[in-house]
Structure 1
């Protein structure tokens, strides 16, 4: 079971890293080219803002899944930190499975939103590109985040330590897993 989780985690990590890095680099290149066009030629790239908006959507939703993988998602720990190991383990496990369910539910709802955008044939204003293609990253991001929470849930069921993600153990020193 752990080998399957490791393989799923590794594949999705590479996909997440590629999408986030590619999107950020493209935002930088697009913004730089647009600024240079305005400064040197007195003309902006007509689609620059729209493209950046699309790329920010991908960075946001895929970046969220990546943050969950690295155990860097937002956690409220004031009361949690004062509890014993067993109670923290139970709470973390329950949070992982309920958050996974929420992510899959949001992916389900986002999927139907994307289908609606496709059905009405909504196009972006500047590029006249089908918006549903860009927004399809939203349910994908939710599914990837949900998978990370499911992996965390499974790791917490299989091990004594408290796992924030596949390879991040709560309170572990950097190198063995990162603590937040």
Structure 2
């Protein structure tokens, strides 16, 4: 879904630029009337898709160990306790993700009660906002799986980029 959303962003922005900078001027030059000078609400639609990508990306970064991990206290625990601490950190991370998911759901639920529409689409705002709890739920489930089955956790890169 994230790749699809990014592809749609690319098509919207590219189509908008091509319409404004190429098609509309050519139509004007040939005297063709009624050619739009861009894609309607391309920037707003792209922004909504970017929100989708960002919140779906939370689960993807957890799945690939792409998130930023502070390593300041990694050497403080004896080697024999590292597997236990690793499981505990996954459980704590899962709990945090589930808590944020809950508050995200409350935000979406409140948004459902009010008729807020997205500009450019005239859709209810909660349709796009629903990716907020879904992204955190996905991350929480992944962390929970890593705590239960440590072998499923991705290896952290040796050096953060």
> TM-score range with shorter-chain normalisation?
0.7 to 0.9
Asked which structure has the greater CA Rg, the reply is 2
> Does structure 1 residue 39 correspond to structure 2 residue 21?
yes
Supply the RMSD in Å over aligned alpha carbons.
1.9
Count of residues in Structure 1 that have an aligned counterpart in Structure 2? 147
1:63 is paired with a residue whose SS is helix
Gaps of 5+ in 1: 1-18, 157-162, 171-177
1:118–1:132 CA contact under 8 A, matched in 2: yes
Find 2:73's aligned residue among 54, 73, 79.
Answer: 79
Question: Offset of 1:89 from its aligned partner?
Answer: 2.1
Matches within 5 A, 1:1-180: 19-40=1-22, 41=24, 43-81=37-75, 83-156=77-150, 163=151, 166-169=152-155
The separation in 1 between residues aligned to 2:96 and 2:73, in whole angstroms, is: 23
Measured in 1, the distance between the counterparts of 2:103 and 2:8 equals 29
Q: TM-score, normalised by structure 1?
A: 0.74
| Between 139-148 and 70-79, the greater mean CA deviation after superposition | 70-79
Moved over 6 A (4+): none
Distance (whole Å) between structure 1 residues aligned to residue 76 and residue 110 of structure 2: 47
Structure 2 unaligned segments of length 5 or more: list them. Answer: 26-36
- TM-score normalised to the size of structure 2? 0.82
